[in-house]
Amino acid sequence: MSDFSLLQKIAIWALPVLFAITVHEVAHGYVASRLGDRTAQMMGRLTLNPLKHIDPVGTVLVPLIMLLLPGGFLFGWAKPVPIGYRNLGNPKRDMAIVALAGPLSNLIMALGWALLLRLAVALLAMMPWVAQPLFFMAQAGIVINLVLMVVNLVPLPPLDGGRVLVGLLPDRQSMTVAAIEPYGLIVVLLLLTSGVLGRVLHPIMQSLNGMLLFVVGLGGSA
C-alpha cells in the first residue's frame, strides 16, 4: 500500500480504523456492564455508532499523521468508555478483565477481516471490481486490529496491558505502576513515532498475521 496516494490510503483505512477502535471501546463497556457497572450503558456508549466514540486527536489526527510517516505503525484510539470502578464486584480483578476485553475484541475482528481477505482472494478472478477494494481493506483491517491488540497489551498504563498489570500486582506495586498513567500515552506516542516500538513489535505482528492467514487457509499467499 506504500504506492497509494494519501486519499487512497484514507479510503482503504478509514472503515477498518473506525470499526476497530469503536468495537474495542464497546467491548470494554459491555464487559463492565456484565461485571456490575452500567455507566457506559447509561451514557449511551454501548453502541457501534462511531460518532459516539470519535476522539478528534486519537481517531482522526494521530492515524492521519501515522499514515504520512514512512514505515510507521498506524495507531489511534477512541474516547474511553466511562467505567465506574466502585460499581464492579471485585474492582481490582474486574478492571483487569475489562481491560482485556478490548484487545480480545481486536483479535476477533482481525480474524473476521482475515476471512474477508479469503473471500476477496476467491473473488479476484470473477469479480475484480469488488474483490480488489475488499482485498486491500481486509489487509488494512487485519493490520490495524493486530496493532491495536499488541500495542494495547504493552504493560504501561493507560494501555490495557498496564491496567491488567495493575490488577495482577500486589497493592503497593500496583499503585506504583498506576502512577505512571498520566505520562504513559506520551511515552507510547514517542516510541511509535520514533519507530522504536514498531521495530520491537514488528516480529510479533508478522507472526500473528501469518497465523491468521494460516487459519483461514491462505498460508503466506496474501
Q: What local confidence, expressed as pLDDT, does residue 221 receive?
A: 53
- Is 1 among the domain residues? no
pLDDT of residue 8: 86
Q: What percent of the chain has pLDDT over 90?
A: 65
What distances in angstroms separate CA 15 from CA 59, 96, 162, 185, one per listed residue? 11, 28, 28, 24
Domain assignment present for residue 124? The answer is yes
Distance from C-alpha of 101 to C-alpha of 46, rounded to nearest angstrom: 14
Task: Report d(CA 100, CA 97) in Å as an integer.
Answer: 5
pLDDT of residue 105: 97
Check residue 19 and give its pLDDT: 93
> Is residue 221, in this structure, part of any structural domain at all?
no
State the DSSP H helix or E strand holding residue 68, giving kind and residue range, or none if neither: helix 62-68
How many residues does this entry show for the chain? Answer: 222
Which candidate, 132, 108, 109, 104, places its Cα nearest to that of 119?
Answer: 132
Residue 133 lies in a domain: yes
ω into residue 158 within 30 of 0, thus cis?
yes
Is 108 contained in some domain? Answer: yes
* pLDDT given for residue 93 in this prediction: 94
Residue 178 domain-assigned (yes or no): yes
List the pLDDT tens digit at each of the 222 positions of the chain.
Answer: 667 777 888 889 999 999 999 999 999 999 999 999 999 999 999 999 999 999 998 888 888 887 777 665 677 888 999 999 899 999 999 999 999 999 999 999 999 999 999 999 999 888 988 899 999 999 999 999 999 999 999 999 989 999 999 999 999 999 999 999 889 888 887 887 787 888 888 899 999 999 999 999 987 555
CA–CA separation, 113 and 197 (whole Å): 24
Q: How far apart are CA 187 and CA 184, in angstroms?
A: 5
**Percent of the chain whose pLDDT exceeds 70:** 96
Range of the domain at 208: 6-215
In a domain, 25, yes or no: yes
Provide the CA 89 distance to its chain's centre, in angstroms.
27
Cell numbers of 102, please?
Answer: 478490548
User: For residue 192, what pLDDT is reported?
Assistant: 77
* Number of separate domains in the chain: 1
Q: Is the residue at 220 inside a domain?
A: no
- The C-alpha torsion from 144 through 111 and 39 to 82, rounded to 10°, is -20
pLDDT of residue 31: 97
- Asked whether 82 and 43 are in contact (CB, 8 A), the reply is yes
Please give the positions annotated as active site.
25
Distance (Å, whole) CA 122 – CA 102: 31
Rounded CA-CA distance 151/128 in Å is 34
Each residue of 48-104: pLDDT tens digit?
999 999 999 888 888 888 777 766 567 788 899 999 989 999 999 999 999 999 999
Peptide bond into 170 cis (omega under 30): no
